[in-house]
Amino acid sequence: MQKKKRILLKIGSNTLTKETNNISRGKIEDIANQIAKLKDTCEFILVSSGAIAVAKQFVKLESKQEDVFVKQALASIGQPHLIRIYQEIFREYGLLSSQCLLSYSDFEKQESKTNIVNTINVLVQNNYIPIINENDTVATDEIQFGDNDKLAALTASLLEVDLLIIATNTNGIYTKESIKNKVPKTIEIVDNFKSLKAEVVDSKSSHGSGGMQSKIEAAQVATKTNIETWIVNGLEDNFITNAFNKKVPFTKINVQKG
């Protein structure tokens, strides 16, 4: 049997909400549909934001605590709902899914890293799609910055995936000049991070806490373990299959030489 291509797909809050104030079931259906089409040749691991966005749809918390603690509480309320939506929709496409909550401290201890790898390998071998999020009730790193970009890169490296796909709300990374001229032009292939950083105009997304800078930092983490990174427009339908078939513009960050 031919070995399946292992893909880590990172879905941010902006993609999941399609830049609205509500989680888009249609977007999760789009993701499920693509995974179902590719399941014979690819195995998927998801890193998904969206727990806070789900909770905000039906909860308003009153608190004298700092904003970050309110967000942690919202994440705690929203996470079970987020996973339930994924499970319901994935099941309609014949896909099995599971929840994994990770913290940055898990990547600092060898025993924890071994446990993560072994657990996720068992899940994938049994056709379960792990859906990973940061354990926001005990850690605040991704709430404050990154929208799971860094978590996705660390997980991709640990699991030795073949490809990291970061879904965002642009057609990849645009040249600085094209943004200034208001005619965005995608940088399609990146072989050098130094020249790439000179092009980046950093801006935070409306729901997420990241921005293009955090995606480039994630790609740098991935490339250290020889993982290629694609930054694609997750708002579009069929964004994974279209990228594979080169039907849409996106940024491909190659493993750096030397």
Cβ atoms of 95 and 35 within 8 Å: the answer is yes
Number of domains in the chain: 1
Q: Is residue 232, in this structure, part of any structural domain at all?
A: yes
> Measured between alpha carbons, how far is 254 from 180 in angstroms, rounded to an integer?
26
Please determine, for residue 152, whether its predicted confidence score (pLDDT) is greater than 90. Answer: yes
Task: Copy the structure tokens of residue 175.
Answer: 């040249």
Q: Is residue 258, in this structure, part of any structural domain at all?
A: no
pTM tops 0.85, yes or no: yes
Q: Is residue 178, in this structure, part of any structural domain at all?
A: yes
19: how many CB neighbours lie within 10 A of its CB? 14
Q: pLDDT, tens digit, for every residue of 235-258?
A: 999 999 999 999 999 999 998 765
Amino acid 192 reads: N
Please determine, for residue 219, whether its predicted confidence score (pLDDT) is greater than 70. Answer: yes
Name the residue range of residue 203's domain: 5-253
Contacts of 25 (CB under 8 A, 6+ apart): 85, 89
